[in-house]
């Protein structure tokens, strides 16, 4: 995968070169994130930097298809159209703060475009052997998966460098999985996306000079979800469903616990709060950098677990998943992501 490493490095360098220009552009367009009640930063910072990630990724894809003699096929074309529309919606949100429903509709449209272009779940693995063909149900199921993962990455974009780093780490683990599953094309795409995410970090790590905004967070989440569909979810064993969930362990768990937390305290599950993992780590006294490093470490562990899962049989896999879930629940309650029982009535 020498070509994969070269293209990933190219994507990282291209993002690094493009970001200052994008910063000037989004500033002139008024894409500014001002300090507020749910904001951690204390000064106005430009947002919309995801445009550099998006542009670098697709430019390197064009270069890569030429270098590898692989045509820019219809699958990539539909993915380009869907992701471009999503980035457009994200940029509008970064400028005008779109209503959540409008943003959700945009995500669904982008997902439908990609699914109709051929990126869809067609089979579900049976833990006891074989595959279950789901026919037309694959379309809504894939749309649900794409929109869910897109929002998971968007939800964790709360600290400098967090979404970019976690996305890059997830991409690395999914690339390794794709290589081991003999899917070099998906591995190549995922490595380029990893390079694009990591290349943004010099400008986005604390203290951030620019935020990726919804355009960047939604693009990264969307592309990761598509690559999981085309890669790990095509597997014929019980691990097919588990691997992408493990690779995305931190955003998956954070979203899952957010829903549980809000239901336990009597709030609508979609109502924003200050209980996400990064909020709780800051509340415990960690600095932004310490909190981000902690979440990077957790993401790395989950990524390695996803790769290790390839070597497990069904029984071992279920045991490992159960153990991780128990440990995650205990950890979540200790840091306050899940409220202790004696405190739940205080929030009602």
Give the model's confidence band at 67: pLDDT under 50 very low, under 70 low, under 90 confident, else very high: confident
Closest CA to 144 of 152, 154, 132: 152
Least confident residue range of 5-19, 26-40, 296-310: 26-40
Q: Which helix (H) or strand (E) holds 191?
A: helix 184-204
Kindly give the pairing relationship between strand 131-133 and strand 123-125: antiparallel
pLDDT-above-70 percentage for the chain: 89
Q: 328 CB contacts (<8 Å, ≥6 apart)?
A: 253
* Residues spanned by the domain of 202: 2-347
The 3-state DSSP class for residue 23 equals helix
Per-residue pLDDT band for 346 (boundaries 50, 70, 90) equals very low
| The pLDDT value given to residue 43 | 86
Between 71 and 248, name the one with better pLDDT.
248
pLDDT at 345 over 50: no
Overall domain count for the chain: 1
* pLDDT, mean of residues 27-33: 94
pLDDT tens-digit map of 128-144: 566 677 778 889 999 99
């Amino acid at each position: 995968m020498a070509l994969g490493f070269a293209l990933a490095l190219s994507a990282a360098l291209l993002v690094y070169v493009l970001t200052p220009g994008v910063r000037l552009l989004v500033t002139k367009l008024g894409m500014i994130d001002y300090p507020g009640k749910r904001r951690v930063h204390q000064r106005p910072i430009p947002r919309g930097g995801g445009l550099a990630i998006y542009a670098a990724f697709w430019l390197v894809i064009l270069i890569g298809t030429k270098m590898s003699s692989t045509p820019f096929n219809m699958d990539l074309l539909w993915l380009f159209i869907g992701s471009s529309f999503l980035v457009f919606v994200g940029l509008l949100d970064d400028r005008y703060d779109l209503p959540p429903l409008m943003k959700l509709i945009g995500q669904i449209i982008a997902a439908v475009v990609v699914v109709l272009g051929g990126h869809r779940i067609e089979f579900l693995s049976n833990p006891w052997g074989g595959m279950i063909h789901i026919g037309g149900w694959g379309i809504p199921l894939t749309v649900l998966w794409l929109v869910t993962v897109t929002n998971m990455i968007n939800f964790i974009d709360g600290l400098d460098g967090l979404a970019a780093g976690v996305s890059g780490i997830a991409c690395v683990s999914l690339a390794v999985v794709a290589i081991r599953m003999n899917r070099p094309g998906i591995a190549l795409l995922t490595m380029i996306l990893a390079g694009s995410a990591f290349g943004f970090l010099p400008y986005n790590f604390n203290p951030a000079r620019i935020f990726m905004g919804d355009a960047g967070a939604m693009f990264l989440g969307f592309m990761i979800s598509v690559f999981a569909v085309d890669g790990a979810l095509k597997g014929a064993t019980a691990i097919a469903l588990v691997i992408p969930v493990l690779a995305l362990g931190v955003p998956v768990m954070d979203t899952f616990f957010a829903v549980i937390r809000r239901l336990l305290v009597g709030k609508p599950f979609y109502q924003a709060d200050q209980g996400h993992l990064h909020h709780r780590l800051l509340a415990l006294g960690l600095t932004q950098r310490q909190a981000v490093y902690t979440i990077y470490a957790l993401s790395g562990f989950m990524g390695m677990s996803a790769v290790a899962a390839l070597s497990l049989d069904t029984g071992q896999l279920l045991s490992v998943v159960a153990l991780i879930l128990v440990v995650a629940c205990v950890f979540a309650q200790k840091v306050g992501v899940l409220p202790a029982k004696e405190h739940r009535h205080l929030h009602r």
